[in-house]
Amino acid sequence: MKNILVTGGAGFIGSNFIKYMLKKYSDCKIINVDLLTYAGNLVNLKDIEGNSNHIFIKGDIRDRQKLADIFSTYDIDVLINFAAESHVDRSIIDSETFLTTNIIGTQVLLDTAKYNWKLNPDDEYYHIYKPGAKFIQISTDEVYGSLGENGRFTEDTPLNPKNPYSASKAGADLLIKSYHETFGLPVIITRCSNNYGPFQFPEKLIPVIILNALAGKPLPIYGDGSNMRDWLFVEDHADALLLVLENGQLGRSYNIGGENERSNLELVHTLCTILDQKHPKACGSYANQITFVTDRPGHDTRYAIDPTRICSELGWRPSVTVEEGLARTVDWYLANEAWWRPLQSRQGVGQRLGAVG
């Protein structure tokens, strides 16, 4: 039985991954460590409550002693790091939290894994690790910066972050690469495009639009809405990560993209059309609530991922179109008011925060 440490597993992507993995495998034990900050939510894990193969521990990835105890107690084989401050808007207002969590936290995880996976922890020169050990870092396409009208990010695209969030993730990626080159630590980095789907905390674009629409509030779009993003349904992301876990090459990075590129304005109009069909208003379209707001500083123009490497090496392809994924997402939010309603009082929910900086 593999013992897998998942950090940030009460968040949006981490919780979806854990549930997806437990459906696929009965021969693994997942130790889930999450600090339960504003976006962490144990309700995300209610579906697996009582599952003996899932152990939740409240903890901070910057807590060296806590992590050392977890590695010792559970004999960790694999570490998958989802834990991160991830909202660009918040990073513009408060960058320090992003730096300490995303960079220092990653360094603590690397140090802990390096010490505990070495067959001889006291040997400073020979780095021979526990067979099968893997450190998988969940990163983002935002580390590459911004594209023009043409081209897509490949794994060889230079890192060129443009905001504090993406700079902190790029710093973590470089640190991970350095631990592989210097110490031979068995690492893999994945970089995904914009995720969406069930359980996404309502500060990101898609849940903000859905919930504001239902509440009759303005649907805020930065600038003129022309910024382009590649959209990845969260279950497709989980499927890709399982393939990386099983067969990914150590020291390698893998881009995971949905091949569903849309402008923010196009995306919001699609959501409004879906809502008009599934939950019609008494009068008019939800699109009438669209409001253009001041653009945030350093707003990248376009992201687009080339997933050729993971497709050719590991046989993965995205299975969900953006139209299908958005319809499924709207259905989920319509059916799960009991999940999102209690979150409405949390700071930043339903707002676009970045223009404040």
Q: Residues 185-203: pLDDT tens digits?
A: 999 999 999 999 999 999 8
**DSSP alpha helices (H): ranges in the chain?**
12-24, 64-74, 88-93, 95-99, 105-117, 164-183, 205-215, 234-247, 264-278, 308-314, 322-335, 337-340
> What three-state secondary structure class fits 337?
helix
Residues belonging to the chain: 357
Domain ranges within the chain, ordered by starting residue: 2-194+234-258+304-320
Q: Which of 141, 236, 261, 300 is catalytic?
A: 141
Asked if the model's pLDDT at residue 31 lies above 70, the reply is: yes
Reading across the β-sheet that carries 134-140, which strands appear in turn? 54-58, 28-34, 2-7, 78-81, 134-140, 187-192, 253-256
Distances (CA, A) of 300 to 109, 248, 285, 357: 30, 30, 29, 16
Q: Which residue among 129, 165, 222, 254 is the active-site one?
A: 165
- At residue 133, the pLDDT reads 97
* Distance in angstroms (rounded) separating the CA atoms of residues 190 and 253: 6
Q: Which CATH number fits domain 2-194+234-258+304-320: 3.20.20.60, 3.40.50.720, 3.30.420.40, 3.40.30.10?
A: 3.40.50.720
Distance CA 352, CA 295 (A): 10
> What confidence tens digit (pLDDT) does each residue in 147-187 have?
988 999 999 999 999 999 999 999 999 999 999 999 999 99
Tell me the CA distances in angstroms from 10 to 13, 31, 236, one per residue in order.
Answer: 8, 11, 18
What's this model's pTM, rounded to 2 decimal places?
A: 0.93
Compute the distance between CA of residue 10 and CA of residue 45 in angstroms, rounded to an integer: 7
pLDDT in tens, 56-68: 999 999 999 999 9
Q: How confident is the model at residue 299 (pLDDT cuts 50, 70, 90)?
A: confident
Residue with tokens 């299975």: 319
Identify the pLDDT of residue 356.
44
The token pair at 145 is 């910066």
Tokens for 35, please give them.
Answer: 């600090």
Answer yes or no: 165 catalytic.
yes
Q: Which position among 85, 142, 203, 230 bears the catalytic label?
A: 142
Per-residue pLDDT tens over the stretch 275-293: 999 999 999 999 999 999 9
Say how far apart CA 106 and CA 143 lie, in whole Å: 16
